[in-house]
Structure 1
């Protein structure tokens, strides 16, 4: 399956990594590793995570308060958000017009 990440999701991942790097560079490295591992799990099992709305699903990032919000469209996985679970739910919904 092909993975397409929306630009705002990439920005969220970068900002989260920068936040954790300021605390401890090892945390930042671990977050990036877990984010990429989550994407690979989604590729292997695209329907394996909790549906949250119609064709959207969320995959929890191990060890961090983040989830990957994604949609499966045919043979493509679209990463909509790298969402902090402490942030307002659904803030990323306006991005759905881009998929």
Structure 2
């Protein structure tokens, strides 16, 4: 299934990648790979993952305290957020 990433999610991904890369370039690369695996899992089996509220599902990133939140719209997986698990994600209705 095609994946679309919202501008807010792209921003969150950039910020988290920057943070990890500043500590270690290798860790930054590992974070991106963990994101890609989570994104691909959502695309391959979009209804398999936990629905956290109506229409919004999540996939946990391996080895990192981040969650990929997504919705399925019009045959596409729409990545809504890449959020740290210790922080409360913004309202889904505010993202897009």
- If the length of structure 2 is used for normalisation, what is the TM-score? 0.93
Question: What corresponds to 1:47 in structure 2?
Answer: 47
The alpha carbon displacement at 1:2 in A equals 1.4
Q: Which runs of 4+ in 1 moved over 2 A?
A: none
Question: What corresponds to 1:91 in structure 2?
Answer: 90
1:1-99 superposed matches below 5 A: 1-88=1-88, 90-93=89-92, 94-95=94-95, 98=96
Equivalent pairs, count:
95
Residue aligned with 1:26, SS: helix
Structure 2 unaligned runs (5+)? none
Find the aligned partners of 1:2 and 1:92 in 2 and give their Cα distance: 24
Find the aligned partners of 2:70 and 2:30 in 1 and give their Cα distance: 21
8 Å CA contact 1:81–1:92 kept in 2: the answer is no
Post-superposition CA distance 1:38-81 (Å, at most 9, x none):
11111111011110010100100000010000001231110000
Residue aligned with 1:58, SS: strand
RMSD: 1.0
The alpha carbon displacement at 1:92 in A equals 3.9
Residue aligned with 2:68, SS: strand
Post-superposition CA distance 1:14-34 (Å, at most 9, x none):
110100011111110000011
Structure 1 unaligned runs (5+)? none
